[in-house]
Structure 1
Amino acid sequence: MTFDPVAFQNAFPAFSSTPTAAITTWANIVEQSPMQSWFCTAPTTQQQLIVAHVGYLLTNASSIDNSQGGGAVVSATEGSVSASFVAPPVRDGLEYYLSGSTYGQMLWAMLNVQAAGGAYIGGLPERSAYRKVGGVF
């Protein structure tokens, strides 16, 4: 794998003061995960986003409150401190995992657009089907 930590730091200034060894470790974690085959062939931007996501989760692991499961704040109380959260609207485990950071959400959006496929725009209606109008070939 040829992940470039310096290019990563230039693309994501939030990690500019992060040691290169830490960024390389995050990239190695992703490369040795079940996402290895995707990661090694993914575009550079997507590689950088997943590494930023993993880095964000690892650097903020102690401050992220997993007891509530994350999500949007529905209500909050100041006296005697109370807060209610709603679970993020996700369909599967990968989407839930990537919803843990802004970087992951950006990656999820990119992957959805990439997986959507092409769209047919304009032209005659028979060109978008197997048969011509009227049912003949």
Structure 2
Amino acid sequence: MPSVLFVCLGNICRSPMAEMLLKARRPEFSPVRSAGTSAVGGSMDARSAAALERVEVKADRKFRSRQVEAADFERYDLIFAMDHYNLSDLQALRPEGARAELRLLLDLVPELAGQDVPDPYYGPAAGFDHALRLIERAIAALPAA
């Protein structure tokens, strides 16, 4: 099965939710990780963990954010960006000839193609639930092979 990396800005909200959701709902994908374009080793946002637990996915309380590294473009088959800014950053970081396929996550859902998973960080808890619902739709649409 393809290996998957999810990327957002800080690797504390959207991408860890996607990582943990894919591991829980689609265990055939492996390895699965997440990273940020400007991560600094922080914990997962508590509101992200709470949103996951509301859909009965256990959040990894030991999670630590990490930054995208050059080796990720060879280590993973698929790298999904949560928004256009992340995708642009990834395209700039990608070494020439790297094997990873870069895509916006919501391009997996035809009616959401080209849209961003909004960053819920500065908003209320409802924004985390909304982001998670979008991520759930994309993960359900992820082809098995």
TM-score range relative to shorter protein:
under 0.3
- Using the size of structure 2 for normalisation, the TM-score is 0.23
State the TM-score, normalizing by the size of structure 1. Answer: 0.24
Task: Indicate the structure whose relative CO is greater, using CA pairs within 8 Å and at least 6 residues apart.
Answer: 2
